[in-house]
Amino acid sequence: MIESKPAQATRSAYNRAEPSFERDLVEVTRGTRAGEYLRRFWQVVAPSVDATRTPQMVRVLGEDLVLYRDGSGTAGLLYPRCAHRGTSLYYGRTEEHGIRCCYHGWVFDADGTCLDQPLEPDGGRARDNYFQPYYPVEERYGLIFAYMGPPEKQPVLPRYDCLEHLAADETILVDATSRGTGGPAICDFNWFQHYENVMDPFHVVVLHDSFSGTQFVPDMGTMPEVTYAYTPRGIKSQQVRTMSDGRTLRRVTELALPTGRIVPSPTLSIFGPVTGLGFMMPIDDTHFRIYNLNVAKNGDTGDRRGSLLGGKAWRELTPAEHRQFPGDYEAQSGQGEITLHSEDRLASTDRGVSMLRKLFRAEVDLVASGRDPIGVAFNEADALIRLDAGNYVAE
Ligand code: FES
Ligand SMILES: [Fe+2]
């Protein structure tokens, strides 16, 4: 028998503990504690242009829903199984008002009202007794937001200061490519892995600079002095660096809970306060998408193709090139579909991650105990959210 020292026995992969993830950080479905927390906020479901006369399926927070726009311009988001006998409204036809089911023709409006039962006498004498489950939607900044939580807790849709004061020659560009993950538009791992990456400024020095060469700009590759702070809306980190020209860069990155991510230009192409932000859309427990909004000059298409290796886009990289040039997508998907928190060993440079987890857990607890989370407002007067994020330069 081979004698092994106790320390070596502990290190044997055979002896590792059964791993687990922390449900309150990752789950998004209805009825879970974290899913109920997320449902206390308006969530992005699609760009406004995606709601058309042709109904389509969208998956948000683990729920499959039918999104459409009727002839009067009203967008609707309905539970897909028709209230009559359950066929999918995906096969329905939009009308001037509402959507007509393909099977027996019942029509439902965006608030679930049954407008017609054409096979019933007089179009359905008792049709007021029927309704289609729905979620309220609002459109702002070129996106469709839905409120999927308890109706009596519906907050006002927030406004963000960086998107509110456009000049006459400016517009808000919607980028649905999940820019910021460096990967595909729909990422195939849990959304919180990306969210906590935003509070991990130190990975920039290794993953984005030294591991495979400079992915952003050389000034971002120097070790920053980092501090973190909680804000009224979430958490922020400040990273101070001396740039190659001798000036000091004070970079502030923040999260506006539960899904707002505010990351100033990592290539330092924009200085000053941020001119946009991103909303993460948890699709289900193992998929998410990011919608980035940016104020741009009219006519700017915002089509700045990411250049990874030899000018290639992410999807053009071979498996060998993904290993040669790993970015955010590779690092975060590499943690698994849902990371195993029990195996994490947080170190001194993970302070932002541990602070975020602590805050998120506390907010989930707050909602579970019947109270309101930070970031919800019930009056229009309180709807404006001011951000601190930006790339600030001092001589
Ligand atoms: S199943 Fe929709 S109208 Fe009958
Ligand atoms: Fe990154």
- The 3 state secondary structure assigned to 196-260 is HHCCCCCHHHHHHHHCCCCCCCHHHHCCCEEEEEEECCEEEEEEEEECCCCCEEEEEEEEECCCE
Q: Residue range 212-219: average pLDDT?
A: 88
Instruction: Assess whether the C-beta atom of 386 lies below 6 angstroms from ligand 1.
Output: no
Q: Residue range 286-305: average pLDDT?
A: 86
The model carries a pTM of 0.95
Instruction: Assess whether the C-beta atom of 101 lies below 6 angstroms from ligand 1.
Output: yes
pLDDT digits (tens, 9 = 90+) for 171-190: 999 999 998 888 999 999 99
Instruction: Assess whether the C-beta atom of 82 lies below 6 angstroms from ligand 1.
Output: yes
Q: Are 92 and 116 in contact (CB under 8 A)?
A: no
CB within 5 A of ion ligand 2: which residues? 328
C-alpha 278/C-alpha 294 separation (Å) is 9
Q: What is the CA(48)–ligand 1 centre distance, in A? A: 27
DSSP notation for 97-128: SSEE-TTT--EE-TTSBEEE-TTSGGGTTTGG
What's residue 189's pLDDT?
98
What's residue 303's pLDDT?
58
Q: Residue range 322-329: average pLDDT?
A: 92
pLDDT at 250 over 70: yes
What's residue 1's pLDDT?
57
Report phi then psi at 10, rounded to 5: -60, -35
- With a pLDDT cut of 90, the percent of the chain lying above it is 87
What's residue 310's pLDDT?
66
pLDDT digits (tens, 9 = 90+) for 106-164: 999 999 999 999 999 999 999 999 999 999 999 999 999 999 999 999 999 999 999 99
C-alpha 57/C-alpha 71 separation (Å) is 19
What's residue 65's pLDDT?
98
Instruction: Assess whether the C-beta atom of 107 lies below 6 angstroms from ligand 1.
Output: no
- Taking the mean position of all CA atoms in its chain, how far away is CA 322? 24
Please return the burial class of 337, using the count of CB atoms within 10 Å of its CB with bins 0-12, 13-18 and 19+: middle
pLDDT digits (tens, 9 = 90+) for 83-112: 999 999 999 999 999 999 999 999 999 999
Question: What ligand has the least distance to the C-alpha of 211?
Answer: 2
Q: Which residues pair with residue 251 across a beta bridge?
A: 239, 391
pLDDT at 301 over 90: no
Q: What is the token pair recorded at 309?
A: 């290796």
Q: What is the CA(232)–ligand 2 centre distance, in A? A: 25
pLDDT at 304 over 90: no
What's residue 311's pLDDT?
73
Which residue puts its alpha carbon closest to atom 4 of ligand 1? 104
Instruction: Assess whether the C-beta atom of 103 lies below 6 angstroms from ligand 1.
Output: yes
The closest-lying atom of ligand 1 relative to the alpha carbon of residue 89 is 2
Question: What ligand has the least distance to the C-alpha of 253?
Answer: 2
Question: What ligand has the least distance to the C-alpha of 202?
Answer: 2
Q: Residue range 345-374: average pLDDT?
A: 98
Q: What is the CA(359)–ligand 2 centre distance, in A? A: 21
pLDDT digits (tens, 9 = 90+) for 28-69: 999 999 999 999 999 999 999 999 999 999 999 999 999 999
Question: What ligand has the least distance to the C-alpha of 81?
Answer: 1
Q: Which residues pair with residue 239 across a beta bridge?
A: 226, 251
Q: What is the CA(237)–ligand 2 centre distance, in A? A: 14
Site to substitute for ligand 1 among 66, 79, 81, 85, most atoms within 8 A of C-beta: 85
Confidence of residue 2 (pLDDT cuts 50, 70, 90): low
pLDDT digits (tens, 9 = 90+) for 252-271: 999 999 999 999 999 998 99
The closest-lying atom of ligand 1 relative to the alpha carbon of residue 105 is 3
Sketch out the chain's domains with CATH numbers.
42-139 (2.102.10.10), 155-394 (3.90.380)
Report phi then psi at 12, rounded to 5: -60, 130
**Cα 45-46-50 angle, rounded to 5 deg:** 145
